[in-house]
């Protein structure tokens, strides 16, 4: 019998001693103490009575169940925590749900998981790729480790990546995008690639994931259990004070525009669960992001403050001279900035209205000496007549 199995058997026996009901039920393993005898059952074997002396041999025959139990109960622990649920999700294990739906389609039973963990079980969490695998593939003792890298690096050789085993380095990686710009929104789909964490413990994996995508695991777990607490726009806006006190004055329809501007898949991996208020859904769909978003984030709040000020102004009518092509160009400029496309426009692509030279030409022609568009305000003069 392998040492790992011996250890697991010892741990199982000790655990049974401590339990009032003298029963362990876990991931298909059932072991019950009845005086000097044990009743052992797994999905592969019918219940059988085993003498105390024969228990190690009997358990050795179902060693995977024994070492699996030890990993989850002793190495991971934390029953009911999001940490444990997440690690179980990582290897497609069934997750006890407190009555909620199944997070893992086709959960794997222990023998299938043990087969899969030899090769590694791959999962995606936003732009993260996670592999759960055995520490010792040749002779698995149940202990798992986890590798973590960018989904874009799935086919990249490890030697070409910056490899780390310190979860805290995730903070540095998540701070800047590929172009070196600050990422104030951690769930923006702009995580840079080129790095890998290898051989992380379960705790370290969760720590790293939390640095990449803070609080996503905790809220995912709440959603699984059906107790995600959503704060809709109105509650969030009305709670604000200081310079954000004005937020509840943002018109209803403008909140749709806020969501369309900020809370779509192209801008954020979170799936918006908040609406204007309960029973009053916003027009834009919440998106297909993997993580539930339970209330407007601080970026949305800060941006919405600007829009609240903007929306408090009255509309006026302006008059300006533009050729039809110039009018089209204005639209193309706004589209290019809104879609973050300006960097992609080739320097000599003067067919594109947002081309830099085209924009500079428009400015040279239509801006006055103060750097402003030559515009007449029509409604103001109309009012005075």
Residues that bind another protein (CB under 8 A): 78, 81-83, 168, 171, 175-176, 182, 184-187, 210, 214-215, 217-219, 222, 229, 239, 241-243, 294-295, 297-299, 302
In the complex, the smallest distance separating the C-beta of residue 364 from another protein, rounded to whole angstroms, is: 30
Residue 49 or 168: the one with the smaller Cβ distance to another protein is: 168
Residue 134 or 307: the one with the smaller Cβ distance to another protein is: 307
Give burial (CB, 10 Å; 0-12/13-18/19+) of 132: buried
Which segments of 234-287 are extended strands (E)? 270-272
Residue 83 or 150: the one with the smaller Cβ distance to another protein is: 83
Residue 136 or 177: the one with the smaller Cβ distance to another protein is: 177
Cα separation, 363 vs 140, whole angstroms: 68
In the complex, the smallest distance separating the C-beta of residue 367 from another protein, rounded to whole angstroms, is: 27
Coil, helix or strand at residue 210: helix
CA-to-CA separations, 78 to 29, 71, 82, 202, 299, in angstroms, rounded = 19, 12, 8, 11, 33
In the complex, the smallest distance separating the C-beta of residue 294 from another protein, rounded to whole angstroms, is: 8
| Bridge partners of residue 147, in order along the sequence | 131
Residue 39 or 303: the one with the smaller Cβ distance to another protein is: 303
In the complex, the smallest distance separating the C-beta of residue 47 from another protein, rounded to whole angstroms, is: 36
Cβ contact 171:201 at 8 Å: no
Cα separation, 283 vs 211, whole angstroms: 32
Residue 78 or 120: the one with the smaller Cβ distance to another protein is: 78
Cβ contact 351:336 at 8 Å: no
Residue 4 or 170: the one with the smaller Cβ distance to another protein is: 170
In the complex, the smallest distance separating the C-beta of residue 83 from another protein, rounded to whole angstroms, is: 7
Pick left, alpha or beta for residue 279 (phi over 0 → left; psi -120 to 50 → alpha; otherwise beta): left
In the complex, the smallest distance separating the C-beta of residue 259 from another protein, rounded to whole angstroms, is: 18
In the complex, the smallest distance separating the C-beta of residue 218 from another protein, rounded to whole angstroms, is: 5
Mind giving me the DSSP string for 317-346? -EE----HHHHHHHHHHHHHHHTT-GGGS-
Cβ contact 291:126 at 8 Å: yes
């Amino acid at each position: 019998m392998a040492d790992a199995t011996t250890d697991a058997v010892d741990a199982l026996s000790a655990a049974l001693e401590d339990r009032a009901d003298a029963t362990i039920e876990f991931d298909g393993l059932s072991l019950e103490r009845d005086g000097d005898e044990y009743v052992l059952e797994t999905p592969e074997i019918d219940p059988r009575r085993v003498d105390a002396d024969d228990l190690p041999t009997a358990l050795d025959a179902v060693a995977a169940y024994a070492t699996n139990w030890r990993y989850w109960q002793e190495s991971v622990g934390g029953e009911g925590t999001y940490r444990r649920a997440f690690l179980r999700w990582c290897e497609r294990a069934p997750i006890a749900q407190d009555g909620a739906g199944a997070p893992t389609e086709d959960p794997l039973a222990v023998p299938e998981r043990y087969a899969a963990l030899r090769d590694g079980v791959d999962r995606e969490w936003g732009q993260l790729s996670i592999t759960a695998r055995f520490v010792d593939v040749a002779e698995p003792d149940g202990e798992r480790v986890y590798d973590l890298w960018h989904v874009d690096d799935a086919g990249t050789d490890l030697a070409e990546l910056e490899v780390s085993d310190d979860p805290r380095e995730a903070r540095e990686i998540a701070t800047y995008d590929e172009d070196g710009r600050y990422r104030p929104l951690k769930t923006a789909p702009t995580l840079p690639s080129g790095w890998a964490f290898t051989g992380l413990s379960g705790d370290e994996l969760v720590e790293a994931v939390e640095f990449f995508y803070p609080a996503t695991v905790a809220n995912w777990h709440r959603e699984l259990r059906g107790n995600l607490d959503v704060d809709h726009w109105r509650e969030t806006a009305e709670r604000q004070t200081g310079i954000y006190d004005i937020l509840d004055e943002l018109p209803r329809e403008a909140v749709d525009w806020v969501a369309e501007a900020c809370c779509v898949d192209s801008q954020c991996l979170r799936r918006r669960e908040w609406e204007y208020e309960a029973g009053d859904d916003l027009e834009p769909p919440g998106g297909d992001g993997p993580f539930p978003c339970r209330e407007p984030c601080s970026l949305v709040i800060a941006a919405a403050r600007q829009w609240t000020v903007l929306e408090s102004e009255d509309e006026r009518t302006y008059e300006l001279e533009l050729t039809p092509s110039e009018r089209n160009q204005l639209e193309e400029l706004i589209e290019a900035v809104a879609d973050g496309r300006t960097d992609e426009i080739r320097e000599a692509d003067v067919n594109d209205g947002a081309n830099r030279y085209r924009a500079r030409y428009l400015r040279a022609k239509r801006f006055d000496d103060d750097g402003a568009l030559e515009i007449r305000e029509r409604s103001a003069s109309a009012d005075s007549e």
